Amino acid sequence: MSFCENRRLAGSRIRILIADDHDVVRAGMRALLEAESDFEVCGEARDGREAVKEAGRLAPDVVILDFSMPGMNGLEVTRRIRKTLAHTEVLVLTAYDSEQLARHLLGAGALGYMSKSDADQDLVVAIRSVYQRRPFFNSRVARMVLEGYLKLVSDASPTGEFPYPLTAREREVLQLLAEGKSNKEVGSLLGITVKTAETYRAALMRKLGLDSLSDLVRYAVRNQVIEP
């Protein structure tokens, strides 16, 4: 187990980098986050290039990233951070909801996507979610992403089957995980035990050759959706 994984299990403070080109927005986020006893704002960035630089220097647990910043857009920033920092998760904030943008950001490696208008009520929950390597979307985007993905999968196969050899129950589990459901929630929704839900998740990752839940979610969203 890596040092970073040990930190997550030990319950240490969540180190956060805020990247936004507006001083007032950064100050507001900092005040909101520093009210949480287990959060530490370790740095700030005012443009895309600075976000990449500061992420590399600080290796935060979570980067809160404004999608529209000067110098480099959020998609490219996400790609660069995820390429070099495997244990840093990216939560993207935008001014509008877009299923296509959400899919592209997931393909680049982001684990969370939400509207700025929802930040006041959802930002703390979103950070905790991505820190635990669970995807987070506000409800509108989650619905758009899942419906768009399922439509593309259905269009790709006349029988409506997924384009990889999964059982019907594995497909159900995959869909729920793609929505960000926990093992307990998957078990409750499917009428199975938490242990059985965990077994299905592990089987999915073995079958697809993936190493983590975040990899599983990214695979589900971008398979035959995001062009290489």
- At 179-227, the pLDDT tens digits run 677 888 888 888 899 889 888 888 877 777 777 766 776 666 654 322 2
Residue 175 and residue 201 in contact, taking contact as beta carbons nearer than 8 Å: no
Smallest CA-to-CA distance from 78 within 42, 113, 109 is with 109
Q: What is the pLDDT of residue 221?
A: 62
pLDDT-based confidence at residue 84 (cuts at 50, 70, 90): very high
Mean pLDDT value across residues 29-47: 95
Burial class of 92 by CB neighbour count within 10 A (0 to 12, 13 to 18, 19+) = buried
User: Tell me, which fold does domain 157-222 have in CATH?
Assistant: Arc Repressor Mutant, subunit A (1.10.10)
Q: What is the pLDDT of residue 142?
A: 64
Mean pLDDT value across residues 10-38: 92
The β-bridge partners of 190 are none
Between these two residues, 3 and 223, which has the higher pLDDT value? 223
Provide the mean pLDDT of the chain. Answer: 79
CB within 8 A of 71, min separation 6: which ones?
47, 48, 49, 50
What CATH number is given for 3-135 in this structure? 3.40.50.2300
Q: DSSP secondary-structure letter at 63?
A: E
Helix axes 168-178, 139-156, angle to 10 degrees: 150
Q: Among residues of the chain, what percentage have pLDDT more than 70?
A: 74
- Sequence ranges of the domains in the chain: 3-135, 157-222
Residue 115 and residue 138 in contact, taking contact as beta carbons nearer than 8 Å: yes
Q: DSSP secondary-structure letter at 12?
A: P
List C-alpha distances in Å: 188 to 98, 176, 180, 201.
30, 11, 14, 15
Q: What is the pLDDT of residue 177?
A: 77
Mean pLDDT value across residues 66-78: 85
Q: What is the pLDDT of residue 132?
A: 92
Q: What is the pLDDT of residue 19?
A: 97
136-137 and 39-45 strand pairing:
unpaired
User: How far is 148 from 46, CA to CA, in rounded Å?
Assistant: 33
Smallest CA-to-CA distance from 41 within 108, 138, 124 is with 124
Place of tokens 């007032």: 24
pLDDT-based confidence at residue 32 (cuts at 50, 70, 90): very high
The tokens for 71 are 């110098």
Q: What is the pLDDT of residue 63?
A: 98
